[in-house]
Amino acid sequence: MNYNRLANDPINSPMFNGNASSMGGNGEPDPAYTGVRLNSNMFIKSGGGGGCVKSGPFSEYVLSHLTSHTYQP
């Protein structure tokens, strides 16, 4: 597969569009999720998802992580 052709619109590409043969979508829309703050100068804004992934091969995975992690460059 020529992945370069998918770079302009990855969310709607066959690789991530959430259909049965994709790797999954962007998660259910979650208005409370605004993104991830890496430190005081770096913030990655939400791509519109942020909630549970409901389709694709990773929809049944459960991710556990520490909630008190501090980023240190």
Express each pLDDT in 4-63 by its tens digit: 887 788 777 888 777 777 877 777 788 887 888 888 888 877 777 777 777 778 778 777
Residue 65: the pLDDT is: 65
* pTM beyond 0.75: no
Per the structure, the complete domain to which residue 1 belongs is given by 1-73
Domain tally, the chain: 1
d(CA 51, CA 49): 6
Cα–Cα distances (Å) from 37 to 1, 24, 49, in that order, read 33, 24, 16
Do 28 and 49 touch, CB atoms closer than 8 A? Answer: yes
Cα 57 to the center of its chain, rounded Å: 14
